[in-house]
Chain A
Amino acid sequence: MSAIGEFIDYVTTAGNWTGPKGLLRLTVNQLLVSGIAVVVAAAIAVPAGLGFGHVRRGGLAAVSVANIGRALPSFAVLVLAFGVFSQAGRGLSIWPTAIALTLLAIPPMFTNTYTGVRGVDPRIRDAAAGVGMRRSQQLWKVEAPIALPLVMTGIRVSATQVVATATLGAWVGFQCLGTLIFEGFAQQNDGKIITGAVLVSVLTISIEVALSKLERRLSPWATTPSGGPVDEPPDPTLASPFHPGRPA
């Protein structure tokens, strides 16, 4: 039987979907561990990024975090976390995977949030202070909403990365979609391997699409078609800092 045929065979067998190691359970686990990682990482990275961005300090920290994040091998962190939790007798749990994924998720969120706040046009900061906003109002009413599209991009990048990487959790005994792949290899079951791979891909792409949509809904202004009416006579200064693409 061809690999495709085995795959179709595997997913159409009802018994493969149910039970403690069924596809539904594994998918839920994959999403659960990813959800924990993204939420915890966001709870750490977004406030930190907002804070550092608002005071306009920590540019070096942001760059360093980004670089470390890029250089950090997820797999090494996973094995390390597994080692640490094993010492505590909790090796075979959700936690080593959750911790490793959290560390993976933090850099894109922090860097994007920081960059988003830090990058707010100085004239707009000026206006926010000048109309009489307190410091906290300047952050929450102006800087944070303007940074939101970038923050959401950071979350989206992190989330897709996390969902895809959660697959590795199977290596340290966490029951997730990766389990299908590892077991499939061990059992030389192509249908199982492909099912795992396809489900991971579908999940990742779905998350990407869903968060992209959310991103646009949360910041309608950022997708406003640029270029309003032209002053009579034509006004060459229409290219605002927010829509530099408009031809003068």
Chain B
Amino acid sequence: MDAAIVLNDVTKQFPGSADVAVGHLSLSIATGTITVLVGPSGCGKTTVLRMVNRLVEPTSGQILVEGTDIRSQPVHELRRRLGYVIQQTGLFPHRTVADNIATVPGLLGWDKARTAARVTELAELVGLAPDLLDRYPAALSGGQQQRVGVARALAADPPVLLMDEPYSAVDPIVRHRLQDELLDLQQRLGKTIVLVTHDVDEALRLADRIAVVNVGGRLEQYDTPTNVLRQPASAFVEQFLGAERGLRRMGLLHVADVTPSGGAIVSPTDTPATARSAMAAANMTWVGVVDDGRLLGWVDGGDLNGQATVAEAELRPFTTVVQPATVLREALDVVVTSPMLAAAVIDPDGRYLGMITIDQISDGLR
């Protein structure tokens, strides 16, 4: 994985300020990933982002974008290769939605037909109805404006997208939807996205890697969301992440991330004695019945008395089932509310993969 953006020992001190806004920051951002800079307000995270497109010039240090020093080309040319999405979108109020999206193609001198085709394509990509294109931004809802902001940033297909608190101006439910849209967009486009936010949950949701930034632009931790949650590098990170780290991590992990136990499993043709020893080994009072890789149901230990094979006992359906793609937090909910404190893991083809209980979930979090 090569780096799309590299910061080498970058410092920014604003004139007239005693403290540095960003001090000796080094950071390498991998191509095609979403990196989220998260930290309290005033920590310098926005300054870091704005140094990348030179809206702020570093006092010292070097920044490379795709291997080239950002000072080695005219600043407007650099910026046309770095899509920029800002808080409350910064749309041009005097231009229609279509003209807003066409801003960078216009600067690059694209012809009319190419620009129009691109605008149509982008509107579809970000989910804007075509009839909105002729309106002015003021006639759009907050969520729609945000989509226009993203479309404008993507217009000339820049390799990098810089997003500064993009969802701070929309309500939580719309924000959630826009975040989903961004993840979906990223699946298709694979851009290098750097996003700044003060919202920990947004960071955890979106990031491939999180950079937790402290006051003065100090990088406290730079790791995947699950690693940051599992092992905060400092008291600051731990405090910043807030309560319920375990639950939040489970919100990011999936059933596939934990190893299910085989559980007490017998086949329909087994004898009650085999079933009892399987139950004893797993310390359970019931046994799952699997035939040809498929879970048929379960049999209570008491029902086995006097039967010749497991198949003759009453087979009860297994209602607590999860899939490998189930979010671990949901799986935990299923497990703790099931009468047997266990859930069967079944893959989408119906094959039985094992049982998970609280023990397995807990092991998976270590």
Interface membership of chain A positions 229-246, coded 1 if the CB is closer than 8 angstroms to chain B and 0 otherwise: 111011111101111000
**Stretch with Cβ within 8 A of B (4 or more), from A77-85, A132-140, A155-163:** A132-140
Per the 8 Å Cβ criterion, residues 44-69 of B in contact with A are 53, 55
Do A126 and B141 touch (CB < 8 A)? no
CB of B355 to closest CB in A, whole Å: 39
Interface membership of chain A positions 215-233, coded 1 if the CB is closer than 8 angstroms to chain B and 0 otherwise: 0000111101111111101
CB of A246 to closest CB in B, whole Å: 9
Do A219 and B94 touch (CB < 8 A)? yes
A235 and B79 contact, Cβ closer than 8 Å, known pairs A131-B84, A224-B136, A226-B138: no
Do B94 and A131 touch (CB < 8 A)? no
CB of B79 to closest CB in A, whole Å: 4
Of all chain B residues, the one with the shortest Cβ separation from A229 is B141
Do A130 and B86 touch (CB < 8 A)? yes
Q: A227 to B91: give the CA distance in the assembly, Å.
A: 15
Q: A217 to B140: give the CA distance in the assembly, Å.
A: 21
Do B79 and A123 touch (CB < 8 A)? no
- Tell me which residues across on chain A come within 8 A of B170, comparing CB atoms: 231, 235, 237
A127 within 8 A of B: yes
- Tell me which residues across on chain B come within 8 A of A237, comparing CB atoms: 142, 169-171
For A124, A128, A231, which residue has the most chain B Cβ atoms within 10 angstroms? A231
- Tell me which residues across on chain B come within 8 A of A127, comparing CB atoms: 84, 86, 89-92
For A126, A220, A222, A235, which residue has the most chain B Cβ atoms within 10 angstroms? A235
Q: A227 to B93: give the CA distance in the assembly, Å.
A: 13
Among candidates B77, B139, B152, B153, residue contacting A227 with C-beta atoms closer than 8 Å: B139
Among candidates A130, A228, A241, A242, residue contacting B53 with C-beta atoms closer than 8 Å: A130
Do A228 and B135 touch (CB < 8 A)? yes
Do B138 and A224 touch (CB < 8 A)? yes
Do B84 and A235 touch (CB < 8 A)? no
- Tell me which residues across on chain A come within 8 A of B76, comparing CB atoms: 132-134
Interface membership of chain A positions 132-152, coded 1 if the CB is closer than 8 angstroms to chain B and 0 otherwise: 111001000010011010000
B173 within 8 A of A: yes
- Tell me which residues across on chain B come within 8 A of A128, comparing CB atoms: 92
Q: A248 to B107: give the CA distance in the assembly, Å.
A: 36
- Tell me which residues across on chain A come within 8 A of B107, comparing CB atoms: 131-133, 137
A129 within 8 A of B: yes
Do A132 and B142 touch (CB < 8 A)? no
Among candidates A121, A228, A241, A242, residue contacting B141 with C-beta atoms closer than 8 Å: A228
Interface membership of chain B positions 185-229, coded 1 if the CB is closer than 8 angstroms to chain A and 0 otherwise: 000000000000000000000000000000000000000000000
A132 and B141 contact, Cβ closer than 8 Å, known pairs A126-B55, A142-B92, A237-B171: no
Of all chain B residues, the one with the shortest Cβ separation from A219 is B94
CB of A195 to closest CB in B, whole Å: 44
Interface size on B, residues (CB 8 A): 40
- Tell me which residues across on chain B come within 8 A of A231, comparing CB atoms: 141-144, 170-171, 174
A243 and B138 contact, Cβ closer than 8 Å, known pairs A123-B87, A137-B107: yes
Q: A137 to B77: give the CA distance in the assembly, Å.
A: 13
A123 and B174 contact, Cβ closer than 8 Å, known pairs A224-B138, A224-B139: no
Among candidates A121, A142, A242, residue contacting B138 with C-beta atoms closer than 8 Å: A242
B103 within 8 A of A: yes
Do A132 and B104 touch (CB < 8 A)? yes
CB of B68 to closest CB in A, whole Å: 16
A131 and B103 contact, Cβ closer than 8 Å, known pairs A235-B141, A238-B141: yes
- Tell me which residues across on chain B come within 8 A of A124, comparing CB atoms: 90-93
Do B93 and A146 touch (CB < 8 A)? yes
Q: A16 to B351: give the CA distance in the assembly, Å.
A: 105
Do A131 and B144 touch (CB < 8 A)? no
Q: A225 to B139: give the CA distance in the assembly, Å.
A: 7
CB of A152 to closest CB in B, whole Å: 13
Among candidates B87, B136, B140, residue contacting A221 with C-beta atoms closer than 8 Å: B136
Of all chain A residues, the one with the shortest Cβ separation from B135 is A228
Do A233 and B80 touch (CB < 8 A)? no
Do A221 and B93 touch (CB < 8 A)? yes
Of all chain A residues, the one with the shortest Cβ separation from B88 is A123
- Tell me which residues across on chain A come within 8 A of B162, comparing CB atoms: 130
B288 within 8 A of A: no
Do A238 and B79 touch (CB < 8 A)? no
For B80, B89, B94, which residue has the most chain A Cβ atoms within 10 angstroms? B94
Do B137 and A240 touch (CB < 8 A)? yes
Q: A212 to B143: give the CA distance in the assembly, Å.
A: 34
Q: A108 to B11: give the CA distance in the assembly, Å.
A: 45
> 15 pairs across A/B with beta carbons < 8 Å?
A121-B90, A123-B86, A123-B88, A123-B90, A131-B84, A131-B104, A142-B92, A148-B94, A220-B136, A226-B139, A227-B139, A231-B141, A235-B171, A240-B145, A243-B138
* A146-B92, A224-B139, A231-B144 known, 5 other contacts, Cβ within 8 Å: A127-B91, A133-B107, A221-B93, A231-B171, A233-B171
Question: When A and B form their complex, which 9 residue pairs have the shortest distance between CB atoms, in order from nearest?
Answer: A127-B90, A132-B79, A132-B80, A130-B84, A228-B139, A231-B143, A123-B90, A235-B142, A231-B141
